[in-house]
Amino acid sequence: MSTTVRAVAVTAAAALALAGCGSGAQTTTSSSTTSEASKVTGDITVFAAASLTETFTRLGKDFEAANPGTKVKFNFAGSSALAQQLNQGAPADVFASAAPANMKQVTDTGTITGTPTTFVRNKLEIAVPKGNPGKIAGLPDFADAGKKIALCAEQVPCGAAAKKVFEAAGVTPQPDTLEQDVKAVLTKVSLGEVDGALVYKTDVKAAGDKVEGIDFAEADKAVNDYPIAPVAKAPNAAAAKAFVDFVLSDKGKSVLSAAGFVSP
């Protein structure tokens, strides 16, 4: 091989080597950029049914631990009130409702797009103060005007469910107070302000030894499905999706199941 040919070959090989190095550097930079872009950070505002207070508070802390740089903020209330707030433009990233009807209120207006996912189910239980001083034995006692009774208002999921079970049992309740969310009802029981109430099984469990629960057959007639979805104009859309995925994950299911919720 002549000296000229040998020089050309060496020059070509060097050029190929440099091109290879340049390609590798380009790939590494692109991968790093993609990784940074996919990282979840920032505040996340979650509107959630009052009955999810304990479980979502726990899941919020777990989510923050798994995603450093995030902060989960909650607005817990009756699902009907939350749906109204969202439709009036309240900023939020995620909505978790205690009933499909309230989720429909926001999907119908386009506040939430896509198909919400049912992530748990819940049903009612009679709650009485510790020791059951009012001697509540079952649903028929809710028709006794001599007993102090607390229920959720009918527009709230726990109130709509209560209406169904009373109709199934043929009982006309005589409530002394109608509350706007299930936690307000539970507070009346735990403070001994009423003899009995209807709340979710998960709420009785969360209250510990402050209240006692009484099962009744008609509860199976009104099982509530809980749907969850990101809000269409979520200020932090990436984090909203990540939080919903976290709730639907095995970790989320474990926390919800331990609280007494049932998988759909």
The arithmetic mean of pLDDT across residues 141-145, rounded, is 97
Is the predicted pLDDT of residue 35 greater than 70, yes or no? no
**CATH fold label, 124-221:** D-Maltodextrin-Binding Protein; domain 2 (3.40.190)
Q: Is the pLDDT of residue 27 over 60?
A: no
Q: How does the average pLDDT of the chain come out, rounded? A: 89
Residue 120 is predicted with a pLDDT of 98
Neighbours of 92 (CB within 10 A): 25
- Rg (alpha carbons) of the chain, rounded to whole number: 27
Q: In 3-state terms, what secondary structure has residue 18?
A: helix
Rounded distance between C-alpha atoms, residue 173 and residue 178, angstroms: 11
Q: Residue 17 has what pLDDT?
A: 41
pLDDT, residue 138, reads 97
**Fold of domain 42-121+225-258:** D-Maltodextrin-Binding Protein; domain 2 (3.40.190)
Q: How far apart are CA 11 and CA 19, in angstroms?
A: 12
More confident residue, 11 or 129: 129
Q: For 63-115, how does the pLDDT look when each residue is reduced to its tens digit (9 = 90+)?
A: 999 999 999 999 999 999 999 999 999 999 999 999 999 999 999 999 998 89
**Domain locations along the chain:** 42-121+225-258, 124-221
Residue 123: per-residue pLDDT = 96
Higher pLDDT among residues 37 and 63, named by residue: 63
Structure-model confidence comparison of residues 214 and 23, the more confident one:
214
Please check the confidence at residue 133 and state whether its pLDDT lies above 50: yes
Average pLDDT over residues 35-56: 86
Q: How confident is the model at residue 26 (pLDDT cuts 50, 70, 90)?
A: very low
User: What pLDDT does 118 receive?
Assistant: 98
Q: What average pLDDT does the segment 158-177 reach?
A: 97
Instruction: Write out the two tokens for 102.
Output: 């309230």
pLDDT attached to residue 201: 97
What is the structure's pLDDT at 106?
98
* pLDDT surpasses 50 at 251: yes
**Tokens representing 197?**
């109430």
Query: What angle, rounded to 10 degrees, do the helices at 250-258 and 237-248 form?
Result: 60
- Least confidently predicted of 28-37, 196-205, 255-264: 28-37
Confidence bin at 39 (pLDDT 50/70/90): confident
Equal fold, 42-121+225-258 vs 124-221:
yes
CA atoms in the 13 A half-sphere facing the CB of 17? 6
Residue 31 has pLDDT above 90, yes or no: no
